[in-house]
Amino acid sequence: MCGIVGYLGDGNTYEVLIKGLHRLEYRGYDSAGIALVDTKGKLHVYKSKGKVENLENMCSGKDLEATAGIAHTRWATHGEPSDNNAHPHYSEDGNLALVHNGTIENYKVLKDALVKHGCKFHSETDTEVLVQLIEYIRLGNNCSLVEAVQEALKQVEGAYAIAVLEKDKPDTIIAARKSSPLVIGIGENEMFLASDASPFVEYTSNAVYLKDGEIAILKKGEPLKIIDLDNNNSKVDVTKLKMSISELEKGGYPHFMLKEIFEQPNTLRESIRGRVVDGGKRIIINGVRDNKETFVNARRIVFVACGTSWHAAMVGKYLFQDICDIPVVVEYASEFRYSNPVLGPGDIVIALSQSGETADTLAAVKIAREKGAFVFGVCNAVGSSIPRETHSGAYIHVGPEIGVASTKAFTGQVMVLTLIALSVAHLKGTLPEEEIARIGKALLDIPEKVEKVLKLNDKIERLSAIYTYAHNFLYLGRGCNFPTALEGALKLKEISYIHAEGYPAAEMKHGPIALIDEEMPSVIIAPKDHLYDKIVSNVQQVKARGGSIVAIVTEGDTVIKNLANHVLEIPEVPECLSPIVASVPLQLLAYYIAINKGKDVDMPRNLAKSVTVE
């Protein structure tokens, strides 16, 4: 949540920062702001409630000359979205400006102490305390800005990625991180900083991912310097970025979400590239191969994740139990971290996260490590925090996901979990080789099957018109498609603001069936699998109560076709792969309903893509 960006160099500081803010807007869009310093020692701060375009309107005609600048797009935690609470915040004397992503947990104590010393605060944010504290220390100790930052951060509890600008130092930016992401870009005569590399990918491919407890000193004409809070030098580890700009643009689609839905055939190809060999007979996941004994002897798998990643983990539960004979539990990372989890050697904790930065999942990973479990990450964002904290892992390789509603990450996660489960099943001998080869071959065909599902686009768009004004939806599924139902309901909720509940289809009769009437549509995921006959009964139960039914069925199904009001046919695939093909029509249905309602699907209200606060 919240995106920060900074620039120091000979280019157009304002333009670089604004473009960077647009790229980071997926992290929050409650307000945006910018601070610029010029060689005359002037510090200009402009900020505005709402999206980055409001800030741009406000800046038009203003003095935007600058050699360095920092900027912020906010997802509000402390204090309502307003101009006043927007970042950058500045010290009372106007000497420093600061942007922050994270949460300062002890801000109240620090604020009270500063107020006693005469400091005046102008916002309701936790962030303002940081900038006031740094300046208070700098003035009181007559020290440099870096020393003041070091001292202030020693007093701070919580998570932060910060960047600080000093009025009289137009050639320097100080940045620091703890538990919130921060990456520095090193170009020719220019340096960048940002919450992820997207704001500077077109200027440089040299990136340095800051580690917890590190402070970066960006100074014009000098190499990047990294130190810790006690002034020890850290190594500057330069990584070559592989991201391309086209991945960060809409490519002709009206929304990132639609682009990402349609990218899925290709992203799924990327997820399996080099991992499914010999026509599907062999599955290679390096992280499993390198930790063979751990996987073969695992006594339990514990998944930790949030949101859509949690739904993918639920699919993983069915997979690992069915084909690897390993007991599995799936935990919400936010609950796991405060639940005294009983873990130890023999337990594998698999952390799923698209961003690799979700605060609760990251905390769960740290706890699992402390408790002696083997921790494996399944993430998308390369170089993000979770992959760096885990013992091993596998990337899903679906490219940057920008739409706040996760789509291609879900199918990529399910795909990679299937690959992991198959390679473990092979090592353990829990699935006959012919069966592994059958599923392996089907895996290679999945991108084409998803291409076929995407041909339903126009039909789903028409269908969406019928259901746009429903107030509630029920999504039902069984077995590994119960999580598909949860995911379909989440997609609808988060972008159309329609209440939707995902439920195991058979559990419905223990309560939610009371909700069913002609105004409450049910979306039922009912492919031909080993529970097909059971779900047909559930469809009948809904129909008997007058509920209208949209069913996702296997091509050629006639039984449910006669019961449901509308059917969307998906190609036949092995049961364990059905969540991948079945989730795509649900993504499209949610998308078109939200569009019909005039909602901003890429930036739904109150949400942010990367949840880096608790």
Distance CA 544, CA 549 (A): 11
Distance CA 501, CA 112 (A): 44
CB of 65 to ligand M6R, least distance (A): 38
* 351 touches ligand M6R (CB under 6 A): no
CB of 28 to ligand M6R, least distance (A): 13
Binds ligand M6R by CB under 6 A, chosen from 24, 186, 404, 431: 404
* 307 touches ligand M6R (CB under 6 A): yes
Residue owning tokens 């921060």: 182
- Give 180 or 308: the residue with its C-beta nearer to ligand M6R: 308
- Give 406 or 522: the residue with its C-beta nearer to ligand M6R: 406
* 308 touches ligand M6R (CB under 6 A): yes
Q: Burial, 344: exposed, middle or buried (Cβ in 10 Å; 0-12, 13-18, 19+)?
A: exposed
At 332, which helix (H) or strand (E)? strand 328-332
- Give 307 or 477: the residue with its C-beta nearer to ligand M6R: 307
Distance of CA 363 to the CA centre of its chain: 15
CB of 506 to ligand M6R, least distance (A): 26
String of contacts with ligand M6R for each residue 382-401, x by CB under 6 A: --------------------
Among the listed residues 169, 493, 528, 609, the single catalytic one is 609
Binds ligand M6R by CB under 6 A, chosen from 85, 267, 406, 484: 406
DSSP alpha helix (H) spans, 329-432:
333-336, 359-370, 385-389, 408-428
Tell me which stretch binds ligand M6R (CB under 6 A): 94-102, 230-238, 264-272, 306-314: 306-314
- Give 58 or 607: the residue with its C-beta nearer to ligand M6R: 607
- Give 89 or 493: the residue with its C-beta nearer to ligand M6R: 493
Distance CA 63, CA 66 (A): 9
Closest residue by beta carbon to ligand M6R? 307
CB of 184 to ligand M6R, least distance (A): 22
The answer to whether 379 is a known catalytic residue is: no
DSSP class of 184 = E
With CA atoms as reference, report the closest residue to 87 among 25, 4, 168, 27: 4
* 525 touches ligand M6R (CB under 6 A): no
- Give 361 or 418: the residue with its C-beta nearer to ligand M6R: 361
Instruction: Provide the 3-class DSSP secondary structure of residue 369.
Output: helix
Among the listed residues 2, 59, 306, 576, the single catalytic one is 2
Binds ligand M6R by CB under 6 A, chosen from 355, 392, 541, 578: 355
Distance CA 385, CA 213 (A): 13
Q: How many CA atoms lie within 13 A of 62 on its CB side?
A: 17
- Give 195 or 610: the residue with its C-beta nearer to ligand M6R: 610
Tell me which stretch binds ligand M6R (CB under 6 A): 73-81, 269-277, 300-308, 367-375: 300-308
Q: How far is CA 560 from CA 506, 552, 555, in A?
A: 16, 9, 11
The answer to whether 324 is a known catalytic residue is: no
Other CB atoms within 10 A of residue 60 CB: 7
Distance CA 558, CA 561 (A): 5
Binds ligand M6R by CB under 6 A, chosen from 43, 285, 306, 359: 306
* 309 touches ligand M6R (CB under 6 A): yes
With CA atoms as reference, report the closest residue to 177 among 237, 120, 226: 226
- Give 21 or 365: the residue with its C-beta nearer to ligand M6R: 365
Q: Report the site for ligand M6R in 483-502 (rule: CB under 6 A).
A: 490, 494
Residues that bind ligand M6R (rule: CB under 6 A) add up to a total of 17
Q: How far is CA 87 from CA 2, 28, 99, 100, 358, in A?
A: 10, 12, 6, 8, 22
- Give 197 or 404: the residue with its C-beta nearer to ligand M6R: 404
Q: How far is CA 183 from CA 169, 227, 409, in A?
A: 22, 15, 22
CB of 396 to ligand M6R, least distance (A): 10
- Give 37 or 261: the residue with its C-beta nearer to ligand M6R: 261
| Tokens encoding 503 | 């439920």
27 Cβ contact list (under 8 Å, min separation 6): 1, 2, 3, 73, 75, 101, 195, 608, 609, 610
- Give 161 or 611: the residue with its C-beta nearer to ligand M6R: 611
CB of 512 to ligand M6R, least distance (A): 22
40 Cβ contact list (under 8 Å, min separation 6): none
| Tokens encoding 555 | 């091509």
Q: Report the site for ligand M6R in 545-584 (rule: CB under 6 A).
A: none
Query: DSSP readout, 385-414?
Result: HHHHHSSEEEE-------SSS--HHHHHHH
* 611 touches ligand M6R (CB under 6 A): yes
With CA atoms as reference, report the closest residue to 254 among 604, 592, 608: 592
Amino acid at 144: S
* 405 touches ligand M6R (CB under 6 A): yes
* 331 touches ligand M6R (CB under 6 A): no
CB of 378 to ligand M6R, least distance (A): 10
CB of 591 to ligand M6R, least distance (A): 12
* 411 touches ligand M6R (CB under 6 A): no
Please count the residues of the chain: 614
* 353 touches ligand M6R (CB under 6 A): yes
- What residues are paired with 166 via a beta bridge? 96
* 456 touches ligand M6R (CB under 6 A): no
CB of 10 to ligand M6R, least distance (A): 35
Helical axes 578-596 vs 457-467, angle rounded to 10°: 50
* 474 touches ligand M6R (CB under 6 A): no
Distance CA 538, CA 509 (A): 9
Q: What pairing do the DSSP bridges indicate for beta strands 374-379 and 347-353?
A: parallel
Tell me which stretch binds ligand M6R (CB under 6 A): 105-113, 292-300, 355-363, 541-549: 355-363
Binds ligand M6R by CB under 6 A, chosen from 132, 206, 354, 385: 354
276 Cβ contact list (under 8 Å, min separation 6): 282, 283, 284, 419, 440, 443, 444
- Give 405 or 589: the residue with its C-beta nearer to ligand M6R: 405
* 358 touches ligand M6R (CB under 6 A): yes
Tell me which stretch binds ligand M6R (CB under 6 A): 159-167, 239-247, 588-596, 606-614: 606-614
Q: Report the site for ligand M6R in 58-97 (rule: CB under 6 A).
A: none
Active site residues: 2, 609
Contacts to ligand M6R by CB under 6 A: 306-309, 353-355, 358, 361, 404-406, 490, 494, 607, 610-611
